[in-house]
A and B are shown apart, each in its own frame.
Chain A
């Protein structure tokens, strides 16, 4: 059974709309991340959270907003969608307060913006 659940697996949206990508992890990890993968930028770090606090944000646009309602949840809200936002969005999590713990990845949400 997958330990990091991302929903939905596939998502089609129209330009200008808003979508929320869901991520829940059942590994007991305290840190969660969002990464984006597209043909232009293979695997791009977006956000990291630890104990529901934002640790790092490398996303230039405020259209991307992470939301953490619980320690094991980190959703990603994307507003005013653009075709360039089309990508696979991966959620990941890790345990520990240092980087010796490898992040483990969910199956991804494949977003297409028309």
Chain B
């Protein structure tokens, strides 16, 4: 079945710096990709959907890249601020109502 590897597991950056989180997946037939943010003690909040026909998505303060050839998905937080400190998870929709999540990246933004 689909396997998702997320790197790095922990990331510490200074305020104003960028932070890049990467996920690689194994199933070339995977079509749907998502990023979630989880603050300590809270639930998962959907940040972005990324579909196979889209290579770049931009949200508020972040950019998502999808490279289907390399089976790689990345989240780039530009100009990170302390409010971005959280765990981030990528998820891959594999069909038949199953979503496989990466192990998460714990991001700490230092003021």
In B46-76, the 8 Å CB interface with A consists of 46, 49, 51
Which residues of B are interface residues toward A (Cβ below 8 A)? 31-32, 34, 36, 42-46, 49, 51, 89, 91, 93-101, 103-104
Q: How far is the CA of A60 from the CA of B98 in the complex (A)?
A: 16
**A100 on the interface (CB 8 Å rule)?**
yes
Known contacts A43-B89, A55-B96, A107-B43, A100 near B101 by CB under 8 Å: no
**A72 on the interface (CB 8 Å rule)?**
no
B3 → chain A, closest Cβ, in Å? 12
* Chain A interface mostly: strand
Known contacts A42-B104, A43-B104, A102-B49, A33 near B97 by CB under 8 Å: yes
Residues of A near B95 (CB, < 8 A) are: 98-99
Known contacts A45-B98, A45-B101, A108 near B43 by CB under 8 Å: yes
Q: How far is the CA of A108 from the CA of B67 in the complex (A)?
A: 33
Known contacts A45-B99, A45-B101, A56-B96, A104 near B32 by CB under 8 Å: no
Evaluate contact between B101 and A90: CB separation under 8 angstroms. Answer: no
Closest chain B residue to A104, Cβ basis:
B46
* 13 A–B contacts from the bound complex (CB under 8 Å): A42-B104, A43-B89, A43-B101, A43-B104, A45-B99, A48-B96, A98-B32, A100-B93, A102-B49, A102-B91, A103-B99, A105-B36, A105-B43
